[in-house]
Chain A
Amino acid sequence: MASCILPPAQAVAKAGFAPTNAEPVLRSYNKLKWIVAAKRKKTCCVENPSPPPPPRNGEGEKKRRVWLAPPLLAGEGVGGRGFRHSNEDSEQGIMLLRTEQLTKDYGHVRALDRLDLTVAPGEVFGLLGPNGSGKSTALRLLLGFLQPTAGAAWIDGHHCWHDSVAARRRVAYLPGELRLYENMTGRQLIRFLGGLRQLKDGPDVERLARSLDIDLSRPIAELSSGMKRKVALLQVLLPRAPLLVLDEPTNTLDPTMRDELLTQLRRARDHGQAVLFSSHVLSEVERVCDRVGILQKGRLVHLQRMAELREERRIVAAFAGVVEELPNLPGLRRIERQQHRLTFEYAGPLPPLLAWLARQQVVDLGIEPLGLGAIYQRYYDVSRGEPPEGAHA
C-alpha cells in the first residue's frame, strides 16, 4: 500500500526498475495528469471521477457517469446577452445554482429564452415577471420536471436533468399550484415526504408546526387552502436543503403568515441556505431579496442587486425658472422633463447633488428610495409596446 502513495518514479524504483526506466513512466504520468486536468476544466461530464460518485438517479443517467459542472465563482458567467446588469457580483464563493443559456420551447412557443443565472449560497433571489413570463418554467427546469430544449442548469454542480436526483437532494420546492395528498393527515404527509429524503422525525417538526400554527393531526382534505400551503411550507423548511425554490409562496397566505414566511426565509438565509422564489408581490420581494431578476417573455431582461437599489433615489424637483442641464454626476439619470419639473434617478452620494440643487431656484423637492416598482414599471411599459430607455444592455 505504501508504494501507492509514493510519487511514480519512486514507486517504480521501489518495484525494482532502474531509474532510467522510471523516467519515461513519470513523463507519461505527468502527461496523463495534465490531460485529465485539462479535460476536467473543459468538460462538464466527468467519466468515473475519483471522489465517490453521488447516488444514481436513474433518469436518463448513463451508468457510472456523473454530470458535473465546473465550479463557478460569483460573478463569473453572469451577464449573458439580453439583460441589463446593474452591478458586478462581488462574492467570492462557489455558486449553488447556475444556468447557462437555459431554454425551453413548448412546440413553437419559447417559454424560456437563454436564461443565464447564478445564485450563491445564502442568497435570496427573486424572480419577477407577469404571468407567462417564464418564471415557473425556469423553476420547473431546475427541478428536473422539464427537459431543457437547449442550455443546462446545475445545482451544487449537479446537472438538473441528467443528474436530477442529486440536484433535487439539495433543493426543497414549494409548487405554485399546490396539490397535496388529500387522504393523509399533515403529519403523515410530512413523514412520507421526509422519509423520501431519509429524514427522521424530530423536534423540528413540532417546533416549525407551532411557529406556522399548523395542526398536523388534521386530514389535509379538511384544511383550508392557506393551511395546506402552510403544511407544504413546513415540508420545504424542514429538510434544511441548501436551496429553497418557492413558486409564489405567499399565495393564499394571510398577512400574518406572510410575515412569518418572510421571517423564515430570512432565517434560512442566515443559516446559509439560498432561496430562489418567484412572486408578483413587489413589496415582499423588496423586503427579503438580495437580488432580483425580471423576466419578460421568457427572457431575463433585468438583474438587480437590492442593496444598490436601496441606495438609488428617485428625485422630483420643481423649479421656478429655467432649469439648467443636470450636473454631470456619476449615477444620475434623467427620466422625465416637464416644463419646470424634472424627474430623475440618482445612485450616489447626496452632497454634490444637493449642492447643485441649492444653486437652482427649487420650489418643490421630493426625494424617495427608487424601489423595485420603478424598475418593474419599465418592463411593464415595454409589454405595452413602449420601448424603455436603456432597458437592455
Chain B
Amino acid sequence: MTGMLVRKSLRDVRTPLIVVALLLAGFECLWCKITERIAGELVPLLQQAPNDILGVLFQGPGQILRTLIGGERINLARAMDVLSIGYVHPLVQTLLCIWAIGRAGGAITGEIDRGTMELLLAQPVPRSRVVLAQLCVDLITIPILCLSLWVGTLLGAWLVSPIAPRAMASPLPVRLPAPQRPVSPEQLALDPLACGPALLNAAALLFAVSGYTLWLSARGRFRGRVLGIAVLLTLLQFLVNVIGQLWDVVGPLRPFTVFYYYQPQEMILSRDWFARPAVWLSLGVLVGVGTAGYFMALRVFCRRDLPAPL
C-alpha cells in the first residue's frame, strides 16, 4: 500500500524533479567553468596588481559577497575553494529550498486543497501511511537531487581540467597581460570526488526544510497559504543567517536557522571532515529538524479533521 502511494507521489513530482535535477547539474557544471575562469585567469591577474584588489573588493558592502561565498577561509586563488562555492551559492540553496518547499508543501495540503485527499482516505489507508509515503518520496528524491549536483560537478571538472593559468580574453582592444607570478598546479587542481561528502549536508538541508514544510502542510487547508508561510519562514532563516554574519546583534540568532548548519564547504575542503564534531553536529541538527517535522506532521495529520473540498 505504501509502495502504491509512493509510486503515485513520485509520478506527481516526476516533471519538477527532472527539471530541478537538470538545473542543479547544469549549474554545477557551469560553476566548474566559472571556477576555471576565476582561479585560472582572474585571480592570477588581480594578484599582480600592487594593491590587494581582492581585499578591497570584500570590504564594506563586499562583506555580504564574502559571507555568501563562505567567509574568510575561502581563498579564490585555490580552484577547490572556488568550486566549493558552487554548493553554497544562493542559487543552489534557492533551488534546493524551492524543491523541498514545493514538494512537501503540496504533499498533504495539495491533496486537501484539490479535494483528492477525501478520495484517498475513503480507501482503507491509514493516515500514517500517507505521511510515511512522503518520507519515502523524500528518501528517494533527495539522493537523486544530491547526486545530480555531484554529476554536474564531475562533468564540469572533466570538461575544464586541467586548469592552467592564462591571460583573460578581453573584450577591450587592450590585451591583458598573462600572469607573471607562478601559480602552483596544486592550487588549480580540481578534485570533484572531494565534493561527495558535501552531498550529505545538502541532503540534510533538504530533509530539514522538507520536514518542517510537511508539518505546515499537515495542518494547513490551502496549498498556497502553506507555501507562502514556508517560503517566508525559510527566507527569514536565510536572511538571519547572512545578516548574523555581518551584524553581531543578530549573530546569536543564527543557530536557530537551518542554514547555519549547512556547511558543505567544511566537508569539501577538509580532508579530515569526519573527525570534526561540528560537522556531525550540523548534520545531526538538520536531520533532527527534518525528523521532528515529520513526527509533528504525523501527529497533526492523524488527529485533524479533514475539511470538505471547496
Please measure, in the bound complex, the distance between the C-alpha atom of A178 and the C-alpha atom of B12, giving whole angstroms: 20
Mark interface residues in B103-144 (1 if CB within 8 Å of A CB, else 0): 000000000001110111111111111000000000000000
Q: What is the minimal beta-carbon distance from A196 to any residue of chain B, in angstroms?
A: 4
Find out whether the CB atom of A57 lies under 8 angstroms from the CB atom of B12: no
The verdict on A168 contacting B309 (CB below 8 Å), with A179-B116, A181-B116, A195-B4 known, is: no
Chain B residues with CB below 8 A from A172, complex form: 122
Binds B, one of A72-80, A123-131, A140-148, A287-295: A140-148
Chain B residues with CB below 8 A from A56, complex form: 126
Contact partner of B124 (CB less than 8 A), chosen from A60, A147, A166, is: A166
Q: Does B302 contact A (CB under 8 A)?
A: yes
Mark interface residues in B1-40 (1 if CB within 8 Å of A CB, else 0): 1001100100110000000000000000000000000000
Please measure, in the bound complex, the distance between the C-alpha atom of A177 and the C-alpha atom of B126, giving whole angstroms: 22
Please measure, in the bound complex, the distance between the C-alpha atom of A302 and the C-alpha atom of B5, giving whole angstroms: 42
Find out whether the CB atom of B12 lies under 8 angstroms from the CB atom of A183: yes
Contact partner of A58 (CB less than 8 A), chosen from B12, B302, B305, B310, is: B302
Q: What is the minimal beta-carbon distance from A143 to any residue of chain B, in angstroms?
A: 6
Q: What is the minimal beta-carbon distance from B64 to any residue of chain A, in angstroms?
A: 43
Q: Does A197 contact B (CB under 8 A)?
A: yes
The verdict on A175 contacting B126 (CB below 8 Å), with A145-B306, A147-B305 known, is: no
Find out whether the CB atom of A144 lies under 8 angstroms from the CB atom of B4: no
Chain B residues with CB below 8 A from A147, complex form: 303, 305
Contact partner of B309 (CB less than 8 A), chosen from A57, A179, A193, is: A179
The residue on B at minimum CB distance from A55 is: B124
The residue on A at minimum CB distance from B4 is: A195
Please measure, in the bound complex, the distance between the C-alpha atom of A220 and the C-alpha atom of B306, giving whole angstroms: 24
The residue on A at minimum CB distance from B114 is: A179
Contact residues, A137-196 vs B (CB, 8 A)? 140, 143-147, 165-166, 168-169, 171-173, 175, 177-181, 183, 192-193, 195-196
Q: What is the minimal beta-carbon distance from B118 to any residue of chain A, in angstroms?
A: 5
Q: What is the minimal beta-carbon distance from B279 to any residue of chain A, in angstroms?
A: 36
Q: Does B308 contact A (CB under 8 A)?
A: yes
The residue on A at minimum CB distance from B124 is: A169
Q: What is the minimal beta-carbon distance from A272 to any residue of chain B, in angstroms?
A: 20
Q: Interface size of B by Cβ–Cβ distance < 8 Å?
A: 28
Q: What is the minimal beta-carbon distance from A56 to any residue of chain B, in angstroms?
A: 7
Find out whether the CB atom of A168 lies under 8 angstroms from the CB atom of B303: no
Q: Is the interface of B mostly helix, strand, loop or mixed?
A: helix
The verdict on A192 contacting B309 (CB below 8 Å), with A56-B126, A183-B12 known, is: no
Q: Does A368 contact B (CB under 8 A)?
A: no
Find out whether the CB atom of A171 lies under 8 angstroms from the CB atom of B115: no
Q: Is the interface of A mostly helix, strand, loop or mixed?
A: loop
Find out whether the CB atom of A59 lies under 8 angstroms from the CB atom of B305: no
Find out whether the CB atom of B305 lies under 8 angstroms from the CB atom of A145: yes
Find out whether the CB atom of A179 lies under 8 angstroms from the CB atom of B122: no
Find out whether the CB atom of B309 lies under 8 angstroms from the CB atom of A175: yes
Please measure, in the bound complex, the distance between the C-alpha atom of A143 and the C-alpha atom of B116, giving whole angstroms: 14
Find out whether the CB atom of B119 lies under 8 angstroms from the CB atom of A180: yes
The verdict on A193 contacting B119 (CB below 8 Å), with A140-B306, A140-B308 known, is: yes
Q: Does A136 contact B (CB under 8 A)?
A: yes
Please measure, in the bound complex, the distance between the C-alpha atom of A171 and the C-alpha atom of B121, giving whole angstroms: 11
Mark interface residues in A1-24 (1 if CB within 8 Å of B CB, else 0): 000000000000000000000000
Please measure, in the bound complex, the distance between the C-alpha atom of A146 and the C-alpha atom of B119, giving whole angstroms: 14
The residue on A at minimum CB distance from B128 is: A58
Find out whether the CB atom of B119 lies under 8 angstroms from the CB atom of A58: no
Chain A residues with CB below 8 A from B114, complex form: 179
Find out whether the CB atom of B302 lies under 8 angstroms from the CB atom of A60: yes
Q: What is the minimal beta-carbon distance from B159 to any residue of chain A, in angstroms?
A: 37
Please measure, in the bound complex, the distance between the C-alpha atom of A165 and the C-alpha atom of B128, giving whole angstroms: 11
Chain B residues with CB below 8 A from A171, complex form: 122
Q: What is the minimal beta-carbon distance from A172 to any residue of chain B, in angstroms?
A: 8
Find out whether the CB atom of A196 lies under 8 angstroms from the CB atom of B308: no
Chain A residues with CB below 8 A from B308, complex form: 136, 140, 177
Find out whether the CB atom of A179 lies under 8 angstroms from the CB atom of B12: no
Most interface-central of A165, A172, A178 (chain B CB within 10 A) = A165
Show the binding face of B for A, using Cβ within 8 Å. Answer: 1, 4-5, 8, 11-12, 114-116, 118-129, 302-303, 305-306, 308-310
23 pairs of residues in contact across A and B, judged by CB atoms under 8 Å: A58-B302, A59-B128, A59-B302, A140-B306, A140-B308, A143-B122, A145-B305, A145-B306, A146-B305, A165-B124, A165-B126, A168-B122, A168-B123, A169-B124, A175-B122, A177-B115, A179-B309, A192-B4, A196-B120, A196-B123, A197-B123, A197-B124, A198-B1
Seed contacts A60-B302, A169-B124; 19 additional CB < 8 Å A-B pairs: A59-B302, A143-B122, A145-B121, A146-B305, A147-B305, A165-B125, A173-B122, A175-B118, A177-B115, A178-B115, A179-B116, A179-B118, A180-B119, A183-B11, A192-B4, A195-B4, A196-B5, A196-B124, A198-B1
